[in-house]
Amino acid sequence: MTHPNLAELTEPQAIAHILEHSRTVAVVGLSPKAHRDSYRVAQYMQQHGWRIVPVNPVAAASAAPILGEPVYATLTEAAQQQKIDLVDVFRNSAEVPPVVDEAIAIGAAALWLQLGVQHDAALAKARSAGMVAVQDRCLKVEHARRAAN
């Protein structure tokens, strides 16, 4: 059986692939505030056995951990400490291209742009670099949906 190019997977296939093959997720824009979506999603994934790697330059400056994990100012800094499988982005859509460039540079296998985060050109760039990529979806919702089936 031949496997399609990972970058050409349909969205449902890409979601399934990411959920099956990722366990260490860098959460770009992870807030230290428990009421924020980024915190709730990361906490949920952590409770389901995923390693959370917070990336937030403002929070990193305080040196206070988020969800018990050290916070990094950049993806590059985080990747020097552990291999990142998935880059999950909680940033404004306009801020996605440099995050994608950094995700490609660190060799992340997958990119996830959270609900409300869309950037077609950056998504295409990630895919052309061989990354499995999803946009405008919630990692927690998709994980829970898959776990329920």
- Convert the pLDDT of each residue in 53-90 to its tens digit: 999 999 999 989 999 999 999 999 999 999 999 999 99
- Convert the pLDDT of each residue in 18-36 to its tens digit: 999 999 999 999 999 999 9
Residue 2 has pLDDT above 90, yes or no: no
Q: pLDDT-derived band of residue 7, with 50, 70 and 90 as boundaries?
A: low
Going along the chain from its start, the domains and CATH numbers come out as 6-148 (3.40.50.720)
Residue 100 has pLDDT above 60, yes or no: yes
Specify the pTM.
0.94
Strand 24-28 and strand 51-55: the pairing is: parallel
Beta strands in the chain (DSSP E): 24-28, 51-55, 86-89, 110-113, 132-134
